[in-house]
Amino acid sequence: MSWLGIQIAWLALRATLVAALAGALLLWTGRRHPRSAVVLGAGAMAVLAIMTIVGFCPLPESLHWASPSAPKADNALDGIEREISNAEDTLELETRGLNFEMLRWLSSLHARSQDSDAGRLAWTALGFAYLTGVIVASTRLLVGWLALCRLRRRIRAIVDPDLIGQFDAIRASLGCSPKVRVCESAVPGLTVTFGWRRPLILLPPEWRTWTMDERGAVLAHELAHVHHRDYLIGFLTRICQAIHFYHPLVHWLSAQARWRQELAADSEAAALVESRTTYWKVLARMALRLPAGKPAGTILALPAVTGGSIVRRIQLLRGKEKRRPFSRMTHIGLVAALAGAALLLSGLRGPVTPAIAQEAAEKPAPYELGYLMPDAHGFAAIRPSVWCRQPGVDKFLDTMTEQLKQLEKLGFKLPDDLKPQNIEEVVANLQLMTAGTGKPGSRGITLGTSSLMLRMNKEFDWPTFVRSLAPKVKMKETRHDQTTVYHLGLVAVLGPMPVSFFMPDKRTVVFFADKSQDGIGKVLDAVAAARKRDWGSGWKDVQNAPFAVVMEYSGPHAPKFFAKDLEDDRDSFAMLERLRFATLGIELGDNRPVRLILDTKSAAAAAEVEKAADRLCAKELKRAKEEAPPSEPAEKIWQKLGLELLQSRQLSRDGSRLSWEARSSVRVGDLIGDKGYLIGTEKR
């Protein structure tokens, strides 16, 4: 919900700029004629409403202002480069001739607030407050509409021939629709107009005491409202006002539009009666007879001839100057200019909106798990193309390109289609194996894989590539139903078991290592069942993550075999022996989440695992504080990563499920450097 609060803040900024421009144009057009001001005010409210909708939708990158991004996390390896980059960014912004200081301040404010729990809570509270305000304002509109519906059911038709004749004559002179009706309400002093498909003018019971001039003035004024669809304009204006209930400028624009509607109706009605003097005198007499207090049920109706500031309206009517409204093309041009300004300002949005929009637009499909071995204890999945797009990884990609050029000189050429940038996902099954001497602490754990699936972002001819890679290997082909299986036999660099592969589609290849050579058939027969296999409750939370690992602890490979080896670490054993599944999802860098989800054997087991995990985290934090600060840049990065994940972790427990979420500013590029392996590991 914090993202909603952030977008509300940016929306308020955009609404302020658009409303201020619209207000200035409205005051200028109002000096020419009130009807022109009504058109501009209605157009401004429509633009604000559309801008609000667009504010929560993704925009093309070309429409986003180049507002500075959040500062990159401290990194001992690239401090100088960061300063140079910031200087270049500043120079680029200055050369554009626009002042981005406000954008820079707002972006940094967002970044600082998102780094703290209090900041995220404040944005979340703002989002809830906005939704609450919109609901309250919308409820008020709904109550007014229901009151009008009740009022409409209690009206009486007017059959007086004199009034009907006068009404028809004025309606014909204005060119109003014949669908408009005039009726009588039972509420004294209530004279209103509402409806746009079947407009209805309601007169109070005392209309029978009015003179002909008074009847003509009221009917002319109300029919002028009907002729220009003022009720529909007012209704849409109030909807926009409800969306921007918090903004005084929007309320002012709405009030100005309604006020100008009254002035425009006065101007048109005065031209239909005997004279302007007669009209304003009628207006004054009727205002004096108006009952005290506002009748109920008129929130969504247009007030009749007595609406607005009577004294101010009379003063304007007594003026001798007559002006005509702007032409239709001028009105369209003014509204179009306002819409263009709003479109330009729509590029002003918080750094979270493009990220969310891009993430929603580029959200990958869940990993393909249909080709895992039936006896797999778990699996690891990674999206190389996603990692390659992270900042800093380009250094490694440049190094890899240079290394491939050296290999080309030796006769080996890797196709461009096989570069990491083009690999959508890799899924490998995990087999848990143990070995040891039988003495406590001697048993080791080994993770191996017997199946590997690669899916590219384009079609790739794997059989041709494998033949070119190992021309001396005799590749045999067999058929399993509609699938061609390629058998390579023993390949020394791939292990002691025969290797086979097949292609489910033109973008995907699956490699297998199987002694019996019949396991591949079992896998192909069980694809549908493998896709439905239960991998714990955490899998759905990480199935789109750039990196995910899931391990099952309920089979014969359960950690009870490590009881002797974990005698001195009871907390670790207490966690392992109570688990069913462990799920890890990593979206490392730029404060993206790292999730660890544990499915335990019971709710009581979850409580025990939570306590054991808290003790382990406390030990690690204490050890980090007691140890001397690392001196190597690589070790500093690793320590920063560990501390940020430990300190930012947030736990939620639901029955037998435990879920931790942590965040770090350390990026993948910070860890792998430009050599393609985790920096610092070469010294360990």
Q: How far is CA 539 from CA 122, 135, 379, 384, 542, in A?
A: 31, 36, 11, 19, 5
* Cα distance between residue 632 and residue 636, in whole Å: 6
Q: Domain check: are 191 and 239 in the same one? A: yes
Answering whether pTM is above 0.85, one says no
Residue bearing the bigger pLDDT, 469 or 378: 378
| Confidence class for position 97, pLDDT limits 50, 70, 90 | very low
The answer as to whether 331 is a domain residue is no
Contact 376, 549 (CB under 8 A): no
Q: Domain check: are 73 and 93 in the same one? A: yes
Q: What is the pLDDT at residue 17?
A: 83
Is the pLDDT at 172 greater than 60? The verdict is yes
Q: Domain check: are 350 and 404 in the same one? A: no
* Cα distance between residue 577 and residue 467, in whole Å: 47
Single residue among 533, 561, 589 that ends a domain in this structure = 533
Single residue among 319, 349, 379 that ends a domain in this structure = 319
The answer as to whether 41 is a domain residue is yes
Q: What is the pLDDT at residue 574?
A: 63
Q: Domain check: are 600 and 559 in the same one? A: yes
The answer as to whether 326 is a domain residue is no
Picking from 336, 261, 142, the residue whose alpha carbon sits closest to that of residue 253 is: 261
Q: What is the pLDDT at residue 398?
A: 79
| Confidence class for position 427, pLDDT limits 50, 70, 90 | very high
Residue bearing the bigger pLDDT, 11 or 230: 230
Is the pLDDT at 89 greater than 60? The verdict is no
The answer as to whether 142 is a domain residue is no
HSE value, Cβ hemisphere, 13 Å, CA-based, for 577: 15
pLDDT tens-digit map of 640-674: 888 888 888 888 889 999 999 998 888 877 777 65
SS3 call for 658: strand
* Cα distance between residue 122 and residue 240, in whole Å: 25
For residue 583, what are the β-bridge partners?
550, 597
Q: What is the pLDDT at residue 598?
A: 92
Contact 531, 369 (CB under 8 A): yes
| Confidence class for position 548, pLDDT limits 50, 70, 90 | very high
- Mean pLDDT value across the chain: 75
Contact 257, 23 (CB under 8 A): no
Q: Domain check: are 524 and 548 in the same one? A: no
The mean pLDDT value for 203-223 works out to 84
Tokens of 338: 């306002």
The answer as to whether 146 is a domain residue is no
Q: Domain check: are 283 and 208 in the same one? A: yes
The answer as to whether 30 is a domain residue is yes
Q: How far is CA 454 from CA 135, 351, 507, 535, 615, in A?
A: 49, 33, 8, 20, 39
Picking from 174, 218, 221, 181, the residue whose alpha carbon sits closest to that of residue 197 is: 181
Is the pLDDT at 110 greater than 70? The verdict is no
Q: What is the pLDDT at residue 426?
A: 94
Tokens of 217: 């003035």
- Find the helix or strand (DSSP H, E) in which 500 lies: strand 498-505
Q: What percent of the chain has pLDDT over 70?
A: 71
Q: What is the number of domains present in the chain?
A: 4
- Sheet containing 181-184: give its strands across: 156-157, 181-184, 200-203, 192-194, 302-303
Single residue among 484, 510, 533 that ends a domain in this structure = 533
Residue bearing the bigger pLDDT, 607 or 408: 607
pLDDT tens-digit map of 607-643: 988 888 888 888 888 887 778 787 777 788 888 888 8
For residue 586, what are the β-bridge partners?
547, 594
**Which residues form the domain of 260?**
151-319
Neighbours of 549 (CB within 10 A): 19
Chain centroid to CA 124: how far? 14
Q: What is the pLDDT at residue 62?
A: 45
Q: Could you give phi then psi for residue 586, rounded to 5 degrees?
A: -120, 125
The answer as to whether 383 is a domain residue is yes
The answer as to whether 187 is a domain residue is yes
Q: What is the pLDDT at residue 290?
A: 60
Q: What is the pLDDT at residue 571?
A: 58
Q: Which of 310-319, 472-481, 557-566 has the highest mean pLDDT?
A: 472-481
Is the pLDDT at 307 greater than 70? The verdict is no
Q: Domain check: are 561 and 660 in the same one? A: yes
Q: Domain check: are 355 and 306 in the same one? A: no
Q: Domain check: are 58 and 201 in the same one? A: no
| Confidence class for position 321, pLDDT limits 50, 70, 90 | low
Q: Domain check: are 39 and 74 in the same one? A: yes
Q: What is the pLDDT at residue 346?
A: 65
Contact 637, 680 (CB under 8 A): yes
Alpha helices in 447-513 (DSSP H): 462-469
Q: Domain check: are 116 and 158 in the same one? A: no
For residue 302, what are the β-bridge partners?
193
**146-150, 305-309, 424-428: the lowest-pLDDT one:** 305-309
Indicate the Cα dihedral angle 514, 518, 519, 525, nearest 10°.
Answer: 150
Q: Domain check: are 399 and 375 in the same one? A: yes
Is the pLDDT at 547 greater than 70? The verdict is yes
